[in-house]
């Protein structure tokens, strides 16, 4: 019984239960939401890009920073990949992923380097690079739109392919592999646990001798690499790329991570929680229009969830602090 109560208290389980309830209610209103080929596919494919973005954002937030540039990095990577296809129409799919991740990682490395040099919060630096990267994309793209006919058919096939039998999209499987690797790294490696230590107490981490500069640089580079991969998945799924690709995704990625239990003040949370938060957000975005909720209220729901998650984190943090204080007094 105690084990069950402990499980139910976990943020990840709570988020999953909310998503399941929302799925059940929406399916009761419109059975095609889940019990149709398109409905089942959309359930899995819609959160795929957000899975990857939220994982990258999780590394940065755990390290006590915020990366506001992931949407712009994703868009710039997607357009760069599209332009490369116009020069090399048969660009192999694995190489497309390597190039996309490399572009994103480079842009993320620039973010981390600027944060390290300026010694200011990552939110400030990435607010600037968000507009800078988007500006490069807009100037480069102009009114140009890259269409599916200019892309490698193999990459486009990846966007619609699914595992036979269970019909789970391949791009979702790729995203879940990223989640699994990040979850293992953060929980099972010394360098992964150092992100938590740095985010929990930066000054103490410096005194302890942890490589705070390298870890911060790594966090932004990983975030950029994930945004680059998301750009490749965007190309594979939509097959049409313009200068506005990725707009608004940065707030969804931050929202998914925070709702999933990544404390906005750093130092706590899990990759699995960030993925569950992304799944919940994608489910809400798909379900609310079917339930007749207007677009304005959809954004209001997202804002309320983020605020609720932040308030909950602060309440739990104060409760843990009081409990630790009481235990010290008793000892």
First to last CA, the chain: 28
**Above 60 in pLDDT, residue 7?**
no
Give φ, ψ of 241 to 5 degrees. Answer: -130, 130
Question: Which is more confident, 119 or 329?
Answer: 119
**Above 60 in pLDDT, residue 5?**
no
Going by C-alpha positions, the residue among 83, 120, 88, 127 that lies closest to residue 103 is: 83
When pLDDT is averaged across residues 292-297 and rounded to a whole number, the result is 74
Question: In this predicted model, what pLDDT tens digit does every residue of 9-37 receive, in sequence order?
Answer: 677 778 888 888 888 888 998 888 888 88
Q: How far apart are CA 196 and CA 118, in angstroms?
A: 22
Question: In this predicted model, what pLDDT tens digit does every residue of 252-290 receive, in sequence order?
Answer: 999 899 888 888 888 888 999 999 999 988 988 888 888
**Above 90 in pLDDT, residue 311?**
no
What confidence tier does 331 reach under pLDDT thresholds 50, 70, 90? low
Domain spanning 12-319, CATH class = mainly alpha
Q: 130: Cβ–Cβ under 8 A, 6 or more apart, which residues?
A: 68, 69, 71, 72, 250
Domain ranges for the chain: 12-319
**Above 60 in pLDDT, residue 248?**
yes
Q: 289: Cβ–Cβ under 8 A, 6 or more apart, which residues?
A: 295, 298
What confidence tier does 185 reach under pLDDT thresholds 50, 70, 90? very high
What does the pLDDT read at residue 324? 60
Going by C-alpha positions, the residue among 272, 305, 293 that lies closest to residue 55 is: 272
């Amino acid at each position: 019984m105690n084990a069950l109560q402990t499980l139910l208290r976990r943020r990840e389980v709570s988020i999953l239960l909310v998503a399941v309830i929302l799925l059940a209610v929406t399916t009761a209103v419109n059975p095609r939401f889940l019990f149709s080929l398109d409905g089942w596919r959309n359930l899995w494919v819609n959160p795929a890009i957000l899975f990857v973005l939220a994982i990258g954002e999780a590394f940065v937030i755990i390290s006590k920073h915020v990366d506001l540039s992931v949407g712009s990095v994703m868009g710039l990577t997607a357009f760069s990949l599209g332009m490369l296809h116009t020069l090399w129409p048969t660009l192999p799919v694995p190489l497309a992923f390597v190039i996309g991740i490399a572009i994103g990682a480079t842009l993320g490395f620039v973010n981390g380097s600027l944060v390290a040099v300026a010694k200011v919060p990552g939110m400030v630096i990435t607010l600037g690079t968000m507009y800078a990267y988007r500006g490069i994309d807009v100037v480069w793209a102009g009114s140009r739109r890259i269409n599916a006919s200019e892309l490698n058919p193999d990459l486009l096939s990846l966007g619609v392919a699914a595992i036979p039998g269970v019909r789970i999209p391949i791009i979702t499987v790729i995203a879940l592999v990223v989640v699994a690797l990040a979850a293992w790294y953060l929980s099972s490696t010394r360098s992964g646990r150092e992100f938590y230590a740095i985010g929990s107490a930066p000054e103490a981490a410096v005194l302890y001798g942890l490589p705070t500069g390298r870890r911060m640089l790594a966090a932004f580079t990983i975030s950029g690499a994930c945004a680059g991969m998301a750009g490749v998945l965007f190309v594979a799924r939509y097959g049409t790329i313009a200068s506005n690709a990725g707009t608004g995704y940065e707030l969804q990625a931050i929202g998914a991570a925070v709702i999933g239990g990544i404390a906005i003040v750093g130092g706590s949370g899990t990759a699995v929680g960030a993925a569950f938060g992304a799944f919940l957000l994608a489910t809400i975005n798909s379900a609310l229009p079917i339930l007749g909720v207007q677009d304005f209220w959809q954004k209001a729901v997202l804002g309320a969830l983020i605020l609720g998650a932040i308030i909950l984190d602060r309440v739990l943090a104060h409760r843990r602090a009081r409990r630790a204080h009481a235990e010290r007094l008793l000892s």
